[in-house]
């Protein structure tokens, strides 16, 4: 049950409050120590480094084994591979030829576009009417 409240002198109340604060502060420090995981791990590694080193090596080996297992084996049919190589060669030849043709036709296309622009500009000037 709750304590009966009586009138206590101010000095006694202050001492009781100070003791309560110290108790609460100690409890908070204990909780912080229990919750502070990085610090606990650091202390554990400093006290007992060998198990941590062995654990790190085991995790590394396990990860390496898992990664190495996931490699896919690809089987290539030689007939299809030759066909794809020839298709790539043909595509490369066609693209090279198109590039040469485009570089040869560029001046012709530029002249044609300039001529059409001049004709359009001339028609626009002659069709203007004054106010």
Residue 7 forms part of a structural domain: no
| pLDDT score recorded for residue 128 | 59
**pLDDT tens-digit profile of 81-118?**
666 777 888 888 899 999 999 999 999 999 999 988 88
Q: Is residue 4 part of a domain?
A: no
Q: How many helices (H) and strands (E) does the chain have?
A: 4, 0
For residue 129, is pLDDT > 60? no
pLDDT value, residue 58: 95
Which residue, 37, 54, 69, sits at the end of a domain?
Answer: 69
Mean pLDDT along residues 38-44: 87
If asked whether residues 84 and 125 sit together in one domain, one would say yes
Residues 35 and 84 reside in one and the same domain: no
What token pair was written down for 123? 């028609």
* Residues ≥6 apart with Cβ < 8 Å to 52: 44, 45
Do residues 38 and 89 share a domain? no
Is the residue at 55 inside a domain? yes
Look up residue 119 and give its two tokens.
């004709």
- Using the 3D structure, point to which of 34, 51, 69 is the last residue of a domain: 69
- Residues counted in the chain: 131
Q: Which domain holds residue 24?
A: 12-69
């Amino acid at each position: 049950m709750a304590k009966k409240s009586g009138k206590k002198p101010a000095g006694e109340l202050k001492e009781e409050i100070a003791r309560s604060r110290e108790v609460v502060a100690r409890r908070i420090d204990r909780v912080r120590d229990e919750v502070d995981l990085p610090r606990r791990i650091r202390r554990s590694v400093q006290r007992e480094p060998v198990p941590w080193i062995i654990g790190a090596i085991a995790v590394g080996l396990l990860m390496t084994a898992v990664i190495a297992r996931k490699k896919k084996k690809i089987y290539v049919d030689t007939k299809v591979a030759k066909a794809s190589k020839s298709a790539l060669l043909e595509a490369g030849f066609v693209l090279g030829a198109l590039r040469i043709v485009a570089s040869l036709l560029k001046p012709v296309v530029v002249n044609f576009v300039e001529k059409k622009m001049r004709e359009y500009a001339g028609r626009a000037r002659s069709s203007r009417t004054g106010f």
